Amino acid sequence: MIRFIAKRLGSGLVVLLVVSALTFFLLYMSSGSIARNILGDQATAEQVAMKEHELGLDQPLLTRYFAWVADALSGNLGASWFSSEPVANSLATRIPVTMTMVLAAMILIAICAALIGVIAAVKRGWVDRVVQVGAIVGDSVPGFVIGVILVTILAIQLGLFPATSTISPDSGADAWVYSMSLPVIALLINGVTGGAQQIRSAVIKQLERDYVRTLRSRGIGEREILFKHVLRSAAPAGLTVLSLQLIGMLGGVVIIEQIFALPGMGPLAVAATGQSDLPVVMGVVMYTVVVVIVVNLLVDILNGWLNPKVRVS
């Protein structure tokens, strides 16, 4: 198992290195005159040259990349070109907001999707049909549309929740709960039906396997077969789907955070991209890649624990 984890971790580090290099070169090669964009059209050639020297833009691109990697390994992701705030500090204040929302939504999605999927697979009938229809509707309706509907009804019309975030650095738990409730509900509604559909399919596939018929022929009860054997075999497929949903959610929360005015990674990414604040953009990209690598690593470890064949392959 240790060798299996080491291989997955090594693959993740290679992915991180490749993505960082591609992102760095693409950003800097496609940004035109960065110093001119920062100073404006009225800046003189001398001012532009001084700004390029200040930012290190007069160095070869490859030299700049290796310098960035060396700094990043020591925890220094540079500073914003516009606010001069260290990128690491900007991320540190915003990552908790985004990850709290995403993790809360994923925990609820996992619980609800597992319950609904198993019930639909075992009971079939109208529950199964509702799950399948809900999966189609859930996949076709974007999360931000659900967010707007929730704000309109629950926040503006009924006043049950704040329409925009009230989170600040010194906010208490109640402010976090009220501010996170609607975004989490929006993500939950958008993701639970699709997850339930995939878990349903995985459970049905296992229920049709020969080993289930063998267990039944031995007089083992349905509940024991379901919880001890079927769910363990179906779990890898469910974990894979949920991990893909979490990764996709990291991109979707950009709009959700804009709708609810949450001070998370979404507004930071949008503002940095609009200003061509490349150090901040690089920081956001690296944060996202690290989260994706960690999620995939955890899923691989869980799948390897549940299914030894995965470790061998």
> Cα–chain-centroid distance for residue 52?
35
Q: Provide the whole-model pTM.
A: 0.80
Give residue-wise pLDDT tens across range 130-175.
777 877 777 777 777 888 888 888 888 888 887 777 776 666 777 7
| Residue type (1 letter), 192 | V
Residue 195, judged by CB atoms within 10 A of its CB (0-12, 13-18, 19+), counts as buried
**Which run of H or E residues covers position 293?**
helix 278-306
Alpha carbon distance 67, 111 (integer Å): 45
**Which run of H or E residues covers position 5?**
helix 2-29
Domains of the chain: 95-275 (1.10.3720.10)
Give the mean pLDDT of 60-85: 87
Confidence of residue 52 (pLDDT cuts 50, 70, 90): confident
Cβ contacts of 219-225, under 8 Å, gap ≥ 24: none
* Strand, coil or helix: 161: coil
